[in-house]
Each structure stands twice: as structure tokens, then as C-alpha cells.
Chain A
């Protein structure tokens, strides 16, 4: 455990990390602390707007994100969002306000009703970005106490962490998570659909499409010999975990590939107790696969 923190971030958990993705919250905080990054929760944050707001009203979508940006600006620190949806939502609002001053003006007019103003100085980061570029593979490696030798892990990025284009990684062939997994001593295995869509919220609205997409990517992972998947996205974890058996049944296949958050695997390698990382909250149990490392 490091003696002191080398940097402080404003942690923006987002709604999912307080419910369906509790294990992501638990492991992100634990790993951040172990690596010496101080995560202070952005006080009184609100929902980022997800993909839903943008489909109904544009200005309310930008405003709901901008309130968080304004709160962060008062604190003068970078925001770090573990959820890919929050990351895209906040980042999109941030960039559009810069690009379209007339939208920015209206958003500020709305924010002023709550005594807030956003000048436009906040930087939005994703947790994967922070662990990759601020902490770095070398430093992660130094902190590893239990290397995960031989663990065949597939890195499932999903969409919104790499697209639209950003500074984190390549939009179609990302490999930052693989590098982190290597730093943890694991053996990452490439698979074709690692940056393809899980169906997102279509799993609720059009289940047939969601199941087909989940089946496709599990099949791709299975054929590559992957034993466990990791992801940086709550919705991906939820779809692949909770609907895995149903997708298998529909297509006459049997899948048994647990999916965890990438922070849970890093945490294990850092020697953090599995319970503190939320391991065991997944529906497709990772117990068998992780047994040799616990």
C-alpha cells in the first residue's frame, strides 16, 4: 500500500455503480486506493443523462450532464468516470459546449436557475484511461503481489469507451486493457468482437436483438479459448452476465464464461481480498476460474 496519494480525482460513480454494478464501485475504489490515486466522490452528483435524454431533448441532455461539470469545476479537479456511458455522456456535453457557444449560453442560462455556472475548464476521464496513462503499466506491475499466471482473460471493451474517437485507445482495435492484464501477469487472449456492441438498452426494448449480439460475442470469446471476460462497462457486464444463459438457450449453445470488471482482476493481482472487490456478485460465477488465484 502506498504511503501517500500522488493525485486526487473527482470520482463520478454514476447510477449503475450504486446498483447493478456495485462490484465495479467496490473494486474501482479499492484498486484506486492501492495504486495511490485518491478518489473523492463528486458531492451531490446527478445522472449523466445516459443515451436516453439525447433521444428526447437535446438541451436537457446537455444540461443534465453540465450540472456535474459545473460542480466539478468548483473543485478544480479532473472527473473520473468508471462507467463508459457516463464517460461518453459527460464528454460529449463538454465537447459540444466548446464547439457550439450558442448551446453553451443556453445551458448556462438553465444552470443559473440553480446558482451554477460552467465555464468549460473540466477534463473528463475514464477509469481505464487513468489506470493506463496516469498510473501506467510499469507502476501497476510493481504493485502486483499475486500474478495471475496462465489466466486466459478476454478483454471486452464494448462501444462507448473507445468510440467516438478519444485519447484512450483505438476505436476498433483497442489494447489498453490487454496491457493492464499482462501487467497483472495474466495471459490476455484476443477475440474478434472485443469492441462490438452488446445491444445496450435494446436488451430491454428488443430482447431478440440483444440476445443475438450477446450470443455472437460469447461465441467469439469461447472459440478463442477465453475463460473469463473483463469489461469497463456496467451495461456490457449486465447484458453478458444476466442474459448469458438465455442467449445460449435461444441458440442451442452452452456458455459458461463469467464476466467481471477489469478492476476486479487488477485488484486480485494486487492481493486485495476478493470480497472487497465484489467478486461473487456476478451471476455466472467466476469462482471456479479464479480458484487458483484466490
Chain B
């Protein structure tokens, strides 16, 4: 490994980042990581990652906060949970990936990644109606991130529509006012 100019001695490490990750439910075990790489080897998308889960984990422990949080690789986790069931130290890898997504979104590191925008579009549809509307979700997401994707996928959309699989009208739940009040309260109580 090449010597990193930003970390010269132990005192340069920002250990508070490790604590941030440790306090999330399921995050406490990250200190048990033995860097075996089972997570990265099991990951269906790690072949494309600059920082596979194993790399992310050592960087968390080394306090390389910004480097971890601005990594696009966090958003390549599909939540397939293969790493989670295979980890020999029972680390809830997927949950830690979720925690990284959250910290990274909160601090606006993720604004440039499409995974973040899909999640945000999803939330705004559900917070408004109580349910997701796949047609609207995709419209919102593609318009925001890659309008060309709308044209590219229009034939698939048409095929789905012809088979009755693409309803145009959103469905709102009955108790939507109460639902919104619940979600607003959850939002206000939320720390991360």
C-alpha cells in the first residue's frame, strides 16, 4: 500500500467517525472486523467498486471520514445481504452500508449519485400518498438524473402498460392526514 500523505501518524486519524458508525443499531460489531474480505468476495457489485466493503471498513476504522462518505460505492449496495450472512464475525455489513448512505446523504456528500436521488424520489412520493407509484417514481427519477433514460426505457414502459402493469393514477391512502402527521413526527425525532 502506498503511504498516505494525509495520515502520517495515529494522531491524524479521526476516530469519532468510528463512533458515529458504532452507535447505529447493528453497527457496534464493526470493531470486530478482521479484514478477511469475505464481504467483498460475496458482493455482486464489488467488481466495479473502487472501495469494496472491506476497503470501506478499514477506512472507517482509520477515520478517513470524507473519503468514505463521498464514495459512490456506498450506493452500489443492492441490499442482497450475502455479505451479512457470510461474515465470519457476524457483522451486519448491509446495515452498516445503510448507515453510510444515511450519513452521506445527511451531509450532502451524495447529491451527485443517482442511488441517492432514486431514494429521495421514492420518499417524496410515499410521504405524499402513503404508497409508491412506480410510474411517477421513474418519471421523477429519470427527469432529475438522466432524462435520456426516459426515452431509452419508453418501449419497456409501453410494453408494461399494454399488459396492465403500469397504472397512471397514483393511489392515496385514506388516513393520509394521520400518516403525514406520523411521518412528520418521526422526522423531527430522527437523529440519523
Contact = CB atoms under 8 A, between A and B. Distances in A.
B65 interface: no
Contacts of B45: 202, 209
Interface stretch (B3-11, B14-22, B53-61, B120-128): B120-128
B151 interface: no
A143 B163 CA distance: 30
Interface stretch (A1-9, A192-200, A286-294): A192-200
Contacts of A196: 44, 80, 82
Given A57-B192, A63-B183, A67-B182, A19 B167 contact: yes
A283 B160 contact: yes
Interface in A1-22: 15-16, 18-22
B130 interface: yes
Contacts of B191: 59
Nearest to A159: B80
Contact of A201 (B25, B78, B166): B78
A150 interface: no
Interface string B173-187: 111001101111111
Interface string B63-86: 000000000000110111110110
B80 A197 contact: yes
Interface residues of B, number: 65
A100 B182 contact: no
B118 interface: yes
Query: What is the interface residue range for chain A against chain B?
Result: 35 or more
16 contacts: A20-B134, A44-B174, A44-B175, A47-B132, A53-B123, A56-B101, A57-B187, A58-B24, A58-B98, A64-B183, A109-B189, A164-B94, A204-B114, A205-B118, A207-B149, A281-B163
Interface in A77-130: 88, 96, 99-100, 103, 106-107, 109-111, 113-116
A15 B116 CA distance: 20
A167 interface: no
Contact of B173 (A21, A44, A62): A44
B182 A114 contact: yes
Contacts of A213: 44
Contacts of B75: 55, 205
